[in-house]
Every structure is written in structure tokens, then in C-alpha cells.
Structure 1
Amino acid sequence: MEQLNLRHLYYFWVISREGSIARASEVLELAPQTLSGQLATFEASVGGRLFIRERRKLILTDLGRMILTYADEIFELTGELAETLRLDPSERPLTLRAGVSASIHKLIAYYLLQPAMAGDRQIQLECQTGRTEDMILSLKRKELDVVLTDRMPRLQEEGNLTVHPLAGSTMSLFAAPELARGLRKGFPASLNGQPLLANATDAPYFERLMNWFSLKGVRMRLVARVDDSALIKVFGSQGYGVFAAPTAIRDEVCRQYEVEQIASVNEVVDELFAITRGRNIAHEGVRAICEAHGVPQDTH
């Protein structure tokens, strides 16, 4: 079967729902003889009987039941499409396909995306995480609308992509309450020899934090490298070590994971960027993100 005749499939679907050709012909406003002929043509094209008659009733065959499962899905979707198309264009849901760097904390990712979801236009969010390099390729192939990342790409290698700096956050150190209380006095020297939970996704802020430790003469004991920011906090809440998180989400981190802040490291900043195709942002959701979190760019 090189090409499925959707009109014939629709006639079959209505006959199945109505239970008889007579009732289906009324719904479709076709003569019963015409509808019977269309059904016979469809049966010939699919290579088998779709109904058998039992006591003047049409009963689906195995082939008919199989085709009906597909027809139900097809015409349910077309019904949804018809409803959507009846809406004013400004009222139709807008899909936002966002890529988020795996090294960005999940709470920060929510904070960045939230303005798009809070606008007047209904947004259907499709969000994926992964390596920034992979998501930039998807953005160039128009599979994504925006990439949110914590590392600046090399623009000369990325064609027509534009980087929009977003407001970042200083970093803070956290630990389970008992451990945190013992480390506040004498900070940062108090961190010497203490267990450290590291980010395994090569987050830029973590390298900056390690450099800051080195400048302060602090040497911590690495106990785990974890590529999931939420899992790091779970280990930290159980007393396995000290972990870093953006100060901007300090209250939520402490509440959700029952940890305490040791100190804020103002010299270490988690930088954030939105990457888009072209300089002018046409997508309403992406524009809301950049307007809510964007920082003025230095033009000098």
C-alpha cells in the first residue's frame, strides 16, 4: 500500500463509531450505496475484510480492530488541531524548546525559565539537558529555540548565533548543619582537610572555586564527583561533605535539603548566558527570559 487514502479511513472510522452504514451515511451525508462502495474500495486497498455481519450488526474483524486503533489516534489529533486552529493566533499555545547545560543547578534552570512560563501567552515547554556543545548544534539545526549555559561559546565558530549575558550569582558553600556550624569560625582556613563534594560536569564556577581555594591556601579532601546538582545536595545533606551552590538560591537549598550555609564566596561568580539564533529575538518565551534576566552589555 503505497499511499493511504485518509478519506476512506475516515469513512471507516465513522462507520465503526456509528455501528452501521445507515447511521454513518446520515452523519456523513452520503447515500448508503455510495458509502458501501467507498468501504469496499478501502478494504481492497488494505487487503482484507474490515467488518463481518452478525444479526444485521457490523462486527470488526481482527484487521478492522487493528486499523481502528490507529484511526482513533489520527482523528483525535486532527480534532485537537482543528480546535487549536479555531483559536486566535495570539491564544494558541507556543512551544518553547529550551536546552539547559547539565552543569547549571536545577533550581537556577527553573529560575531562568520561569519568566517564559509566567507570561500571558500559554507556553508548552520542551526542556532538555546535556553538553553545551551538543545543544548548540541542535540550536543551529533549529531543533531548539534557546540554549541556557554557564560557559561563553566562541562566537567566531558559531555562525549566526548570539550570546545574551544573563545575571549570574556569587557562590556559597553549604553542608549539613553540624558540619556547617563547625566550619564557619575561622573560614576559609577551617576548610583545610574537610570533605568536598565536587561537580563532575566541569562547571566553570567549580574551576573558579578551586582557584580561589588555592589563593587562600585551602586544601580540601575530595570525596565524590557527581554530575547531578540535586544529588550533590542530597549527599551534602547526609553529612558527606561540603558543596557549592549559587547564593541566589541559598534559601531554597537550605529549606529543601535541610543544610546550612557556611559562607558566601563573593569572588566566585556563576556566569550565565542565553544563546539564540540571530540578534533579534522573535520567540516570545525566549524574549521574556532575556528581558527578565539580561544584563546590559558593555559597548565600550
Structure 2
Amino acid sequence: MPHLNFHHLRYFWIIATEGSMSRAARRLNVSPSSLSVQVKALEEQLGQQLFERVGRTLQLTEAGRIALDYAGSVFKSGHELIETLSGLRQGRQLLRVGAAATLSRNFQISFLKPLIGRKDVELIIHAGLFEDLLQLLDAHKLDLVLANQPAAPDSIRNFENTLIDEQHVSLVSRKPPKRKAFRFPQDLAHTPIVLPGRGSAMRSAFDALLGSSGIVPIIAAEVDDMAMLRLMARESGGVTLVPSIVVIDELRSGTLVERARLDTLREQFFCVSQQRRYPNPLVAELIGARGLRVAR
């Protein structure tokens, strides 16, 4: 079986990605002439010319483009292996979770509950913006992302969306002095409302629902973060649009009451993962615990 010199392949890959022999030499801290010798050795081994000089620039030949594609796969797999195994301790498994800032903390705990407290599992939970979390997932710095929206189709990054749950959405408030039925949507004409930030699926659906009624709401606040939305529901004198799971403790204790359940609105919760050569088995374990399968 022929032996491929991965040292030479790495030099070729860096030259191709830098687009310049001199820039690659500076990055590798070697001389351009030494780098040229290494590439020549790889070309002789492959029996193909990988670069051709056009003016002062290097351009990949057809064989070079094929080699670059293979080299990218090789080094991406190596990076993935290091990221996967470097975080493991003997006898323990590590799961790195990204959680969108707009996602209910109660839902996060509910989903991760099968692993919480296990002596053989270490959890790292990183909160952030959804797109930033997807970039970390693609860089293999996260094993999964929890969000209330799916990742958009991406043929390069190979994201997989699994719908974990759906929750109904309600208008909640502090208990009113007089137990009076809330008329939706009519009472929103004079009752201040706290809403999720614009751009969320739940907010868009609510705006569409209210728009068809002709009611113009009195918006007291717009909040992206679910933890803050929960606090605003407890402090606001009006009503708050929120998935019930976000304020489940307050509803059970009577701190908040449900004024109207909007059965046509649902909040969806997704687990976003990625096709990998070395998948973290804890991801499949969490999804399997809910009787679900990864949706491709």
C-alpha cells in the first residue's frame, strides 16, 4: 500500500489555502525554497502537477483541486478527532451544549435531565446567539445546539434538526384583584403586553394573529431573553406572551395565572447536531431518551 507523506500534504494544503508560496512560508516559518522542494516531492509521489504559475500567482491544476478537496477532508477529520478526544477524561464523557439565549431555561433542564448528576458525565453549557452557536458547532467546539428554531439547510455544514417538543403559548399575568375572564384579543386594546423580540417565530405568529383582528396592542416591552421575559411577566402590570414552560413554577405557585391560552400558537424546541465521523454518543442518548430520531 503506497505511503502518503502527510507532512508534504499539509504544506500543499497551506499553500493552496493561503494562495501564495511566500505567505505560506511565513505562516510555516520556513523558506519558500524549502517549501517548494516539499511540494515537488508530493507531486512526484502523486505523479501529477498540483500548481501552475500564472504571472506572479500560483493556480491549482485540476489535480491540485482534487488533492485540495481530499486534504481538507483529512485535516478536518484530524481536527475533529483532537477536539473530540482532548476533552475526555478517563472514565468520563464530556458533552458541550450550546443554548440559544431565546430558549427557556426550564426546557434546557428538562432536556438535559437524563445526564444531570451522572458521575460519568461532565456538561458544559454555553449560551449565545443562535448563529454564533452554529459556528461553534461547525468548528467542533460544541456537540449540539438547543434552540427554538431549526438551522437553515446548509449543504456544507450538514446540520441536522430534531424537533424535540412543542409547547402551547399563553398570555399570563399576576393574579388580578378581581377574577375576570380575559377576552382575547379585545382586551389587548387597553392592556399593556410584554412580547418576545421581533424576529422570533412565536412573535411573528402572534403579530399575524393579532393583525387579522385589527387590534393595535399597547407594547410595554419587547424581550429576546427568555429568563428576562419570565421576570418581566412577574413584574409587569399587564400580560406577557410566553410559552407556559418558561413560567411553569410561577403558574404552579400562583405567582402568575394564565389569562388566555392561544391554542393556534406553538413554540417549537429543536436539537441541532451535525453529521460527524466521530459523533458524541451522548447526543444520541439524549435524543433517544425522548423516543426521537435525528431528522436529516
Q: Which range, TM-score by smaller chain?
A: 0.5 to 0.7
Residues 1:203 and 1:148: Cα distance change in structure 2 (over 3 Å): same
Count of aligned pairs between the two proteins: 209
Shift of 1:154: 1.8
After TM superposition, the score normalised by the length of structure 1 is 0.61
Q: Secondary structure, in 3 states, of the residue corresponding to 2:113?
A: helix
Output the CA distance in 1 between the equivalents of 2:98 and 2:143: 8
Output the CA distance in 2 between the equivalents of 1:274 and 1:186: 35
Equivalent residue letter for 2:126: Q
Per the alignment, residue 145 of structure 2 pairs with 147
Per the alignment, residue 252 of structure 1 pairs with 249
Q: Indicate conservation of the 8 Å contact 2:182/2:259, yes or no.
A: no
From 210, 214, 239, the equivalent of 1:213 is: 210
Output the CA distance in 1 between the equivalents of 2:153 and 2:212: 31
Output the CA distance in 2 between the equivalents of 1:210 and 1:292: 35
Equivalent residue letter for 2:157: G
Q: Which moved more, 1:202-211 or 1:124-133?
A: 202-211
Output the CA distance in 2 between the equivalents of 1:290 and 1:220: 39
Deviations 1:117-138 (A, max 9, x none): 26x6632111011111111110
5+ residue gaps, structure 2: 1-88
Output the CA distance in 1 between the equivalents of 2:130 and 2:242: 20
Per the alignment, residue 116 of structure 2 pairs with 117
Q: Indicate conservation of the 8 Å contact 1:181/1:262, yes or no.
A: no
Equivalent residue letter for 1:220: P
Output the CA distance in 2 between the equivalents of 1:256 and 1:134: 36
Shift of 1:256: 6.1
Where in structure 1 do 4 or more consecutive aligned residues deviate above 6 Å?
296-299
Per the alignment, residue 287 of structure 1 pairs with 284
Q: Secondary structure, in 3 states, of the residue corresponding to 1:178?
A: coil
After TM superposition, the score normalised by the length of structure 2 is 0.61
Output the CA distance in 1 between the equivalents of 2:122 and 2:144: 14
Q: Secondary structure, in 3 states, of the residue corresponding to 2:115?
A: helix
Q: Indicate conservation of the 8 Å contact 1:162/1:276, yes or no.
A: yes
Q: Indicate conservation of the 8 Å contact 1:149/1:272, yes or no.
A: yes
Instruction: Identify, as 1 or 2, the structure richer in helix.
Output: 1
Output the CA distance in 2 between the equivalents of 1:241 and 1:109: 27
From 163, 166, 175, the equivalent of 1:165 is: 163
Shift of 1:139: 0.4
1:86-105 correspondence to structure 2 within 5 Å? 92-105=91-104
Shift of 1:250: 5.4
Per the alignment, residue 269 of structure 1 pairs with 266
Q: Indicate conservation of the 8 Å contact 2:287/2:294, yes or no.
A: no
Output the CA distance in 1 between the equivalents of 2:169 and 2:193: 15
Residues 1:291 and 1:219: Cα distance change in structure 2 (over 3 Å): farther
Q: Indicate conservation of the 8 Å contact 2:230/2:247, yes or no.
A: no
Output the CA distance in 2 between the equivalents of 1:245 and 1:130: 20
Residues 1:150 and 1:239: Cα distance change in structure 2 (over 3 Å): closer
Q: Indicate conservation of the 8 Å contact 1:97/1:127, yes or no.
A: yes
RMSD between superposed Cα atoms in Å = 3.0
From 185, 188, 192, the equivalent of 2:185 is: 188
Matched residues, percent identical? 19
Equivalent residue letter for 2:204: E
Q: Indicate conservation of the 8 Å contact 1:103/1:202, yes or no.
A: no
Residues 1:98 and 1:256: Cα distance change in structure 2 (over 3 Å): farther
Output the CA distance in 1 between the equivalents of 2:139 and 2:178: 46
Q: Indicate conservation of the 8 Å contact 1:180/1:260, yes or no.
A: no
Residues 1:216 and 1:123: Cα distance change in structure 2 (over 3 Å): farther
Q: Secondary structure, in 3 states, of the residue corresponding to 2:154?
A: helix
Per the alignment, residue 229 of structure 2 pairs with 232
Output the CA distance in 2 between the equivalents of 1:151 and 1:139: 15
Shift of 1:206: 1.7
Shift of 1:142: 0.2
Residues 1:93 and 1:179: Cα distance change in structure 2 (over 3 Å): farther
Per the alignment, residue 11 of structure 1 pairs with none
Q: Secondary structure, in 3 states, of the residue corresponding to 1:116?
A: coil
Equivalent residue letter for 2:137: L
Output the CA distance in 2 between the equivalents of 1:174 and 1:157: 41
